[in-house]
Amino acid sequence: MQRQGVTPNNFTLATCLSSCSNMGMLENGQLLHSMAIKAGNSGDVFVSSSIVDMYANCGCIEEAEAAFQGMVSTDTVSWNMMLFGYLQHRQGLKVLETFRTMLDKGLEPDEVTFIAVLSACSYMGFVIEGKEYFDSLTNVFGIVPTIKHCACMIDILGRAGKFNEVKSFIKDMKVTSNPLIWETVLGACRMHGNDKLGESAAEKLFELNPGIASHYILLANIFAAKGRWEDVRRVRALMTHCGVKKEPGCSWVMVNGQVHIFRSTDGCHPKHGEIYIKLKELVEKSILAGYVPKTDHILNDVGDDEKLEQLFHHNERLALAFALISINPVKTIRIFKNLHICEDCHDFMKLVSGVIKQEIVVRDANCFHHFKSGICSCQDYC
């Protein structure tokens, strides 16, 4: 468009900013933000909302907050974007505070607003508040709870280990035939090691939606944590029989405008020798700082040495080592990951951030983790 001399309009900028948001391309997003300011488009509600969303999805929640506060006009959609921005960065109290401010300003919340609010209650363990917000959907705001709202409420109860209430809620709300409900139950069972209910939830999922790999993997992980290796093999065999394949885990980092992708125990990168040397150095320094590898998070029936080998070369660690040999030492390291970060890698990143005195931001499939001075912004809710 620029080469053809066509001037981008508000919709062009909003669309391109959305693409940067989805792919975590901060530098391109910043260029578009500058372009919007110069062209006088930054005051448009669609463009300004897209700017907020771009910064939040690229790991820059302070910049997202500043962009939101500088908006000329706002609507429910833009407030929802800020709520989900805080949620992604595990700033639950800010989600609830912003929600109250939204109400004080006379804006009407919608179905999406309450997904953010209930999700914040879930990970903060606010069971009573979560119940109150769920009840207010119908009683105060006249919104009929959707399946997503019900799943949020089940997550609140399940993460708190209130499985009897989970069962009663599913029965009362008549949501037994929806896969999202049982996915949420299965996730809570994985967290608390409830293999009996977890197996029941997984069986429901195999009936309702047999082609989703994560259902099999979660159940296998529940069994593995209990040492039920024969059941692990049975689930994996069922997965193979059904033709279901696990999505390969990977992490990527952008250096000098180029994306570098890593998979666990990857030896394909041109700098893999330097990467492994740097990673060994990080492991040694983190052990001196108190790191104790959690080999129980390698849910394979293998020896301890092999577990350590697998653990030390998880893809996010390879991405970190590469970033450290490639990026200016004063610059924040931003790593993106398609699956959830494991608890051991989470502990490792925390310690390394303190050792190297540098901020590390990891976006996994769940949220952003800001590691700084040995602490994570998620408060160890990984």
What is the reported pLDDT for 313? 86
What is the reported pLDDT for 297? 56
Would you place residue 48 in the very low, low, confident or very high pLDDT band (cuts 50, 70, 90)? very high
Question: Given the structure tokens 């994570």, which residue do they identify?
Answer: 376
Query: Does residue 275 carry a pLDDT above 80?
Result: yes
pLDDT (tens digit, 9 = 90+) per residue, 88-134? 999 999 999 999 999 999 999 999 999 999 999 999 999 999 999 99
**Helices 213-225 and 229-241: angle between axes, nearest 10 degrees:** 170
> What does pTM read for this prediction?
0.87
344 token code pair: 């051991």
Within 10 A of 258 (CB to CB), how many other CB atoms are there? 8
Question: Given the structure tokens 């949620």, which residue do they identify?
Answer: 87
What is the reported pLDDT for 251? 94
What is the reported pLDDT for 285? 92
* Among 119, 16, 22, residue whose Cα is nearest residue 363: 22
CA distance 216 to 245: 10
Q: Which residues contact 140 (CB under 8 A, 6 or more apart)?
A: none
What is the reported pLDDT for 299? 55
Domain boundaries, the chain: 1-73, 251-376
Question: Given the structure tokens 């994985």, which residue do they identify?
Answer: 190
CA distance 78 to 65: 11
237 token code pair: 């065999």
Would you place residue 303 in the very low, low, confident or very high pLDDT band (cuts 50, 70, 90)? low
Report the pLDDT averaged over residues 359-363: 94
What is the reported pLDDT for 301? 55
Please state, for a pLDDT cut of 70, what percent of the chain lies above it.
96
β-pairing, 360-363 vs 333-337, is parallel
Report the pLDDT averaged over residues 300-315: 72
CA distance 113 to 265: 41
Q: Which residues contact 379 (CB under 8 A, 6 or more apart)?
A: 90
Q: Report yes or no: 261 and 250 within 8 Å, Cβ to Cβ.
A: yes
pLDDT (tens digit, 9 = 90+) per residue, 204-259? 999 999 999 999 999 998 998 898 999 999 999 999 999 998 888 899 998 887 88
What is the reported pLDDT for 61? 95
pLDDT (tens digit, 9 = 90+) per residue, 178-218? 999 999 999 999 999 999 999 999 999 999 999 999 999 99
CA distance 40 to 254: 30
The H helix count followed by the E strand count for the chain is: 18, 6
Per-chain mean pLDDT for the chain: 91
170 token code pair: 């599913």
CA distance 70 to 170: 43
> How many CA atoms, within 13 angstroms, populate the side-chain half-sphere of residue 139?
6
